[in-house]
Structure 1
Amino acid sequence: MKERDVLLAAMLGLAIGGCSAPPQRAGQATPAPDVAAPAAGKAALNSGEQVYREVCMACHATGIAGAPKFGNRGDWEKLIAEGQAIVTAHGWVGVRAMPPRGGRPDLTQEEFARAVVWMARSAGADWQDPDAAMLHAIHEEAEDRREELEKKEHDDD
């Protein structure tokens, strides 16, 4: 990946994620639980489209740093074939230039998953918003992915 693309992705991550939360590397533990529910008094969960527009669009509308473009079947074809739980979990943990949770640590796993569904559907997937079973599968895959990344990090040392 070009150095310029990495720099742009980092700047976008800060812009959309805000500067209040400390940066996290892929594979690092996240401070909030994976299957977080909205806190008492907090508004209802955001839809996939809302999360896409507020968080994901900054990178996925243009394909910056290799992000699969919204609505581009070619960009999403292999990801869709991997399956909803895997793609969602890897994005949740952080993958390639994408920071964990798209740089928004306040997102719940369900909101994040809805955004992934929104983007995948735009490219032809028939995925549905996650139910409890899918959220569990995403959680389990995310844990496996974190362990894999930690092992790789230790092997690289």
Structure 2
Amino acid sequence: MTSSRTSSRPATSRAAVRAAAVAAAVGIASGIFIPSAGAAVPERYPLGSIHTLGRTSVDGARIVGRAADPDRPALPVLVKFSVDGRHLATVSANRGDGHAFEANLSIDAASHEVCVTAVGRGPSQLARTIGCARVGAYQPPAAPAQPSPANT
């Protein structure tokens, strides 16, 4: 006897189910969210890095890096600098392609820890410390070598 089964659901192959599960896992692991209709998309923290930090003088240092908000890539983020835990300056990461930052910091001749925090452009203005680096104490340039007296 042959029975005929009807269903209102479309047939789904095991391969299709497996592919959907892998796609969901990859999306979650990479931070890519594909919301269903009406679902709120959570804001993500800004990303960035410090490229260089170095002394420019006895009372200054220059810092260069990048920062971006992954949810609003067309908008520059604010970048805050703290020195030894105290806020010193804020700039916009709007140089170059719109995500680079550069700042000249006024600091004394001692060694200091400089930390950089990026502030996202979303409604929550999520902030993340993107890195800290140490700028060494000022070292005056070495005196030029004196020529030795000629033997006569």
TM range (shorter): under 0.3
Of the two structures, which has the highest relative contact order with CA contacts closer than 8 Å and spacing of 6 or more? 1
The TM-score, its normalising length taken from structure 1, stands at 0.20
Structure (1 or 2) with the greater strand fraction = 2
Structure (1 or 2) with the greater helix fraction = 1
Larger Rg: 2
